[in-house]
Structure 1
Amino acid sequence: MTRNSKRNIDVYTHHVMSAIDPEVTKTLNLVQLRAIRTAVSANAPFRQHAIDIRGVLPLYFLKLYFVILMGKDRRLDTRAKEQKRMVHMQGLSTFVFAYFMLAAAVPILLIIVYGIKSILGVDLFPDQHLFDFFKDL
């Protein structure tokens, strides 16, 4: 079981720093390296919780780990942004759905109107019919 300790911060910082390409690391001066290490160490995920307890339960055939974290909820801003994004996407999806429904309904409506026109015997263009147009194709 570990608590927030200097050792954990150093291990985390070392892990993050080791992910940087060694050729890039060689180009950094000492001041830049210290600034990066300080920033990484200050923003380590386990440093952001008031209570951070981690441990391992060794059992016969396996090991189980556990994590207990407690601290101030800092996700309110993130949740507000996500909610705003969801409202925007809901409006967009409603618009797209309405567009496709309208695109499907217009041809069906035109076919119905044409059928009613034909049944009533209304002839808008004398000696020209829709079926005659298809015969020529």
Structure 2
Amino acid sequence: MNGVELFLLGRALMKVGEQALPDTGDGSHATVLVVLQDVFDHPDAAISEIAGRTGFPQSAVSMAVARLREAGSLVARTDPRDRRRTLLRRATDVSPRVAQVRTMSIDEAIGRALGTDDAAEIREVVHALESVAQRMGLRTM
């Protein structure tokens, strides 16, 4: 596998991941997930900083943050140095909504992507993905 193939695999897996998430009806999974990852990578980030790093308009970041706060994924506090700014970080407690999303199976979405309903083949691929995620330290969300 080369870098281009790895990049394309990552994009394909992102699409499969979006299909495995609960439907919000507005197709905004990608924005919300990019914002969530940015806050995980940069705790105590302000919305303007997230917008700068992600390239999303500040209004889109604000909407994503509102959804993530409502779901219990992020918490906010006032910046003690500048009380006009709100700082965001990962919630330490798992909300019922986050718990629900974490328990949702990806098997159906993986099966569709592979073009199969063979449970053994799907389990094999899911196991391989879990192994890669664990080795990369990504099994913490």
Please, what TM-score do these two structures have when normalized by structure 1? Answer: 0.20
Q: Which has the larger radius of gyration?
A: 1
Please, what TM-score do these two structures have when normalized by structure 2? Answer: 0.20
